[in-house]
């Protein structure tokens, strides 16, 4: 298990250092912003849809290693997926980080590399970091873009 954990850490550190799809998307037809005031993470998710398929996906923002790596891995896993598939993966990822799933297989086909976030459930404060990009994606798909925050009603700290 500890070997697996080291591998997981490597993947997270790598995606934090060299985030994939870390750019704006001029052709985006959906976007949303997300904030996690608890940790100071900010993310903007851009989507270019082709009917029901995520043709391209990118993100920008700043935050801790977990939030950045999570957004980066999300973009690599979701490119080319349908909206319905993305929702399934989101649900499964949510179960993974909140501990709703007891035993995640390393090669879980639905999650792919996202399984590296299984360790996050042991750190409740990090769950919001890991899920921020996903909630933001959900908002972009659902409502075509509004600002989401992991905390209710407190936008006062933004811009500081």
Q: Which is nearer to Zn ion, 54 or 150 (CB)?
A: 150
- Please pick, from the candidates 111, 129, 133, 137, the single residue that binds Zn ion as defined by CB under 5 A: 129
Cα torsion for 37, 38, 43, 45, to the nearest 10°?
-100
Report if residue 38 touches Zn ion, rule: CB under 5 A: no
| Nearest distance in Å: CB 26, Zn ion | 28
**Cβ contact 51:40 at 8 Å:** no
Task: Report the 3 state secondary structure along 40-100.
Answer: CEEEEEEEEEECCEEEEEEEEEECCHHHHHHHHHHHHHHCCCEHHHHHHHHHHHHHHHHCC
For Zn ion, which stretch binds (CB under 5 A), given 20-28, 40-48, 81-89, 91-99?
A: 40-48
> Which residues partner with 29 through β-bridges?
none
Report if residue 116 touches Zn ion, rule: CB under 5 A: no
Which among 50, 49, 51, 47 is positioned nearest to 60, based on CA atoms?
47
| Nearest distance in Å: CB 125, Zn ion | 8
- Please pick, from the candidates 39, 49, 53, 104, the single residue that binds Zn ion as defined by CB under 5 A: 39
| Nearest distance in Å: CB 126, Zn ion | 7
Report if residue 35 touches Zn ion, rule: CB under 5 A: no
| Nearest distance in Å: CB 107, Zn ion | 27
Q: How far apart are CA 92 and CA 50, in angstroms?
A: 24
- Please pick, from the candidates 67, 72, 118, 136, the single residue that binds Zn ion as defined by CB under 5 A: 67
Report if residue 41 touches Zn ion, rule: CB under 5 A: yes
Binding site for Zn ion (CB under 5 A): 39, 41, 64, 67, 129
């Amino acid at each position: 298990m500890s070997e697996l954990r080291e591998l997981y850490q490597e993947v997270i550190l790598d995606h934090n250092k060299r985030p994939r799809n870390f750019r704006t998307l001029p052709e985006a037809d959906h976007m949303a912003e997300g904030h996690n005031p608890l940790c100071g993470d900010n993310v903007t998710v851009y989507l270019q849809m082709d009917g029901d398929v995520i043709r391209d996906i990118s993100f920008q923002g700043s935050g801790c290693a977990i939030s950045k790596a999570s957004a980066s891995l999300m973009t690599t896993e979701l490119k080319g997926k349908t909206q319905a598939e993305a929702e399934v993966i989101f649900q499964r990822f949510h179960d993974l980080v909140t501990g709703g799933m007891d035993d995640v297989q390393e090669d879980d086909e639905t999650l792919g590399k996202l399984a590296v976030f299984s360790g996050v459930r042991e750190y409740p404060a990090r769950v919001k970091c890991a899920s921020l990009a996903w909630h933001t994606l959900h908002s972009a798909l659902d409502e075509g873009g509004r600002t989401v925050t992991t905390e209710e009603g407190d936008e006062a700290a933004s811009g500081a």
